[in-house]
Chains A and B, each alone.
Chain A
Amino acid sequence: MKYAIETHNLVKIYDNDFKAVDNLNLFIEENTIGGILGPNGAGKTTTIKMLTCLIPKTSGSAKVAGFDISSQANEVRNHIGMVPQLVSLYKDLTVRENVELCADFYNVDEKIKDKKIDDLLELVDIKYAQDKFVKQLSGGMQQKTSVVASLVHSPDVLFLDEPTVGLDPTTKRVLWDLMEQLNQEGRSIILCSHDMYEVDKICDTINIIDSGKVVANDTPQGLKDQLLKNKEENNEYIRRMIRELETENSEDNIEEINQLKSSLTTEDEWVTVMVSNINEMMIDALENLDVVKQVINMGEGRLNINLKRSETSVNAVITSILANDGNIASIKTNDPTLEDVFVAITAKKRKEIK
């Protein structure tokens, strides 16, 4: 398997003895979109700086696009592009001048330079503004220019550090589409972001970094499934403990049993059902179900139903609606989000540190 990024026990200790990256083992396959998440101060920025050869590592090893970041730094630089969070373009140069400057710094062949720049400007739809000064552009257009400047040498790996911060939803979507398009063309994309929706939407894999280490690594759905699984495993363990204590049938255990019951994860689940013919009987029937805690008729054929989470609860709701002559147009369960996963993992880590 080829990796766009692979690090082995990568360490960075700053002059003040602060260990920002602690034996990091990070692997992102080539031709994928890999997300790097982490709370503030987790070591993401330091990792990116080392991988883009801006600062030296303290120990360990790392390869980017197959080149060693220490011994082949210029090869690494030739094969990567970077779109920083802070738009780092020269504000008093035009869009085209900025891109030309980058092309020359990347030693792009003079014969293909102009065409390459034209193609890229058209790709992100800013060719019409190529002669405008960067300072005259909106945030979104500046970020598009930054992307073009980072792509002018056709890098294999493109790093994007919070590329859509401060951009409007439409411009965000344009950039997401662009990232997916670049990935389809064969580029590896490394996305650092705090926007969970963005990461969930476009990343193939996610690495969550905390305290300088990778603490979770999977696909977005895999991480969410893992969170549910962990919760269920935890609940199952607690239930087993409760059963054991109850079989002892001792009054001394009552307090402990109550404590264990309160620690069970009893997250409610909301289900939104679109039904074409809602009636009173149907709502009464739903409210009388054991698994249903609350039914809210939102109007226009929409029911929001609060369920006790169990494997059969959604089945029971569907059966009840159908039994009351309801026609179900759609049903949507509210699964855990990537944000839930992120909070659960990083909060757990904080607890361990304390």
Chain B
Amino acid sequence: MEFNKFKWMIRKDLLTVWRHKVQFASLILFPIVMIALCGWGMGGTVENTPVVIVKQTSGYITDQAINAIKSDTTYDVKDILDDPDKAKQMVDRGEVKAAIILSSNFEDNSSRNVVLYIDSSDQLTTQTLVPTTQKVFASLSEQVKMEQMGANVQGNNPFAQTTQAIKLQVNRIYGDIKYMDFLLPGVLAMTISMSAMMTMGDSIAGERERGELARLFMTPTSVSTVIGGKIISQLIREMIKTIILIVVAVLLFNVVINGNPILLFVVLLMSTLCFVGFGMMFSATAKTQEDYIQIILPIAMPMMFICGVFFPTETMPWILQKIAYFLPLTYANDALRAVMLQGANFRLVAFDLLILLLFTLLFFAVGVMRFNRDI
């Protein structure tokens, strides 16, 4: 008898999932998406890092150095320039992760210098790029020495002078970034996105389920007033959470914020608004909170792995890097890292803010259109 009851408990739950389309789709797709993204996003190695090379002389050794860099999959050489300042500007603007500057006397046997001008705000990339570059030039030094020795033996020596090892100077433009410093902007972006999305579920789908929204919609009140009020209250709640998070990080972990606090506030506000809109769009038609969670979870969780919160997007396959461009967390994360770690000014984060604004407008427009007054 007890067995039959036990059997019914299991059967009832499984039948519920089977007959509930959203729950069933989530049951199948969620683990597939999660493991795929974890595998690609967290288990990948840093490859195809965008870099620029500065070539100030011409010659055999320079060509060898450029070939060595190009043939290593860690690098994706975007350009070869002759002006070090232009290359540095590209790094400062975030167009490339590093500039490999070969000195003007690179063909001179007595003093070959290389400067690795690197965006150290991306900690994982820095951790990979610095030793890889050291290895590339150590190997090149060895190769040059061997060739010199061979030439001496044959009496045909292009390296008349004594060959020195290539000296690599690493210039971390934002200094040595601690992992906590690196992590905080990502954690902030993630906290804002997850929290805003989840609370919007309760605020709209939950109130719809409990009949509280129906009472409001029976009054002479427009949908936009109700939604507007909810957005403002959510903004206030999320901003309080964010400020607490920053204060605790600064006090307990000595996290340093390099950027302008007002700009940081603007970026946080814009990001929060965007994710409140994201939650609102999906909760607009969800009948229950359970439905909302089943819809939002398969989107929200993978977003953390794709959008570079914990690991740079460069470690992911090409297709995921492209998908990241269509997710607002990428831009929130990018802007927060730029302001907090790089001390970026408004001009440098204007693009991210613009994209976040466009996402916000899109989410609100779709949300308001899909919203209905039905109980």
Quote the shortest CB–CB distance from B215 to chain A (angstroms).
5
Taking CB atoms, residues of chain A closer than 8 Å to B214 are: 54, 84, 88
Assuming the A-B contacts A54-B375, A55-B374, are A89 and B220 also in contact, with contact meaning beta carbons closer than 8 angstroms in the complex? Answer: no
Binary contact track A49-66/B, C-beta < 8 Å → 1, others 0: 100111100000000000
Mark out the residues of chain A between 83 and 135 whose CB falls within 8 Å of any chain B CB in the assembled complex.
84, 86-90, 102, 105-107
Asked if B218 contacts A54 (CB within 8 A), the reply is: yes
Taking CB atoms, residues of chain A closer than 8 Å to B20 are: none
Chain B contributes a number of interface residues (CB within 8 A of A) equal to 15
Asked if A90 contacts B218 (CB within 8 A), the reply is: no
Quote the shortest CB–CB distance from A89 to chain B (angstroms).
7
Quote the shortest CB–CB distance from B9 to chain A (angstroms).
27
Taking CB atoms, residues of chain A closer than 8 Å to B215 are: 82, 84, 88-89, 102, 149
Asked if A55 contacts B373 (CB within 8 A), the reply is: yes
Quote the shortest CB–CB distance from B86 to chain A (angstroms).
59
User: Within 8 Å of chain A (Cβ to Cβ): is B346?
Assistant: no
Asked if A54 contacts B374 (CB within 8 A), the reply is: yes
Asked if B210 contacts A78 (CB within 8 A), the reply is: no
Closest Cβ neighbor of A91 among chain B residues: B210
Asked if A88 contacts B212 (CB within 8 A), the reply is: yes
Asked if A77 contacts B219 (CB within 8 A), the reply is: yes
* Complexed CA–CA distance, A86 and B207 (Å): 12
* Complexed CA–CA distance, A106 and B215 (Å): 11
Taking CB atoms, residues of chain B closer than 8 Å to A80 are: 218
* Complexed CA–CA distance, A74 and B221 (Å): 8
User: Within 8 Å of chain A (Cβ to Cβ): is B228?
Assistant: no
Binary contact track B210-249/A, C-beta < 8 Å → 1, others 0: 1110111111110000000000000000000000000000
Asked if A77 contacts B218 (CB within 8 A), the reply is: yes
Closest Cβ neighbor of A83 among chain B residues: B215
Asked if A105 contacts B221 (CB within 8 A), the reply is: yes
Taking CB atoms, residues of chain A closer than 8 Å to B372 are: 55
Closest Cβ neighbor of A55 among chain B residues: B374
The A interface is mostly helix, strand or loop, or mixed, namely: loop
Closest Cβ neighbor of A87 among chain B residues: B211
The B interface is mostly helix, strand or loop, or mixed, namely: loop
* Complexed CA–CA distance, A53 and B214 (Å): 10
* Complexed CA–CA distance, A183 and B323 (Å): 62
Q: Which of B210, B211, B217, B219 contacts A102 (CB 8 A)?
A: B219
Taking CB atoms, residues of chain A closer than 8 Å to B216 are: 105
Taking CB atoms, residues of chain A closer than 8 Å to B220 are: 74, 77-78, 105-107
Taking CB atoms, residues of chain A closer than 8 Å to B210 are: 86, 88
Asked if A84 contacts B211 (CB within 8 A), the reply is: yes
Assuming the A-B contacts A88-B214, A90-B212, are A106 and B219 also in contact, with contact meaning beta carbons closer than 8 angstroms in the complex? Answer: yes
* Complexed CA–CA distance, A118 and B63 (Å): 89
Asked if B217 contacts A54 (CB within 8 A), the reply is: yes
Mark out the residues of chain B between 349 and 375 whose CB falls within 8 Å of any chain A CB in the assembled complex.
372-375
Binary contact track B180-223/A, C-beta < 8 Å → 1, others 0: 00000000000000000000000000000011101111111100
Q: Which of A52, A53, A89 contacts B212 (CB 8 A)?
A: A89
Taking CB atoms, residues of chain A closer than 8 Å to B373 are: 53-55
Quote the shortest CB–CB distance from B63 to chain A (angstroms).
68
Taking CB atoms, residues of chain A closer than 8 Å to B211 are: 84, 86-88
* Complexed CA–CA distance, A107 and B372 (Å): 22
Closest Cβ neighbor of B217 among chain A residues: A54
Closest Cβ neighbor of B212 among chain A residues: A88
Quote the shortest CB–CB distance from A72 to chain B (angstroms).
11
Quote the shortest CB–CB distance from A85 to chain B (angstroms).
9
Quote the shortest CB–CB distance from A190 to chain B (angstroms).
13
Taking CB atoms, residues of chain A closer than 8 Å to B375 are: 49, 54, 84
* Complexed CA–CA distance, A289 and B375 (Å): 60
Mark out the residues of chain B between 273 and 314 whose CB falls within 8 Å of any chain A CB in the assembled complex.
none
Best-surrounded residue of B219, B221, B375 (most CB of chain A within 10 A): B219
Best-surrounded residue of A54, A74, A80, A106 (most CB of chain B within 10 A): A54
Taking CB atoms, residues of chain B closer than 8 Å to A53 are: 218, 373
Taking CB atoms, residues of chain B closer than 8 Å to A87 are: 211
Best-surrounded residue of B212, B214, B220, B374 (most CB of chain A within 10 A): B220
Asked if A52 contacts B218 (CB within 8 A), the reply is: yes
* Sample of 9 A–B contacts (CB below 8 Å): A49-B374, A54-B214, A77-B219, A77-B220, A82-B215, A82-B218, A86-B211, A88-B214, A107-B220
Closest A-B pairs by Cβ, 4 of them: A88-B211, A105-B219, A74-B220, A77-B220
List residues of B whose CB falls within 8 A of some A CB: 210-212, 214-221, 372-375
A54-B217, A84-B375 given; name 19 further pairs at CB < 8 Å. Answer: A49-B375, A52-B218, A54-B218, A54-B375, A55-B373, A77-B218, A77-B219, A77-B220, A82-B218, A84-B215, A86-B211, A88-B212, A88-B215, A89-B215, A90-B212, A105-B216, A106-B219, A106-B220, A149-B215
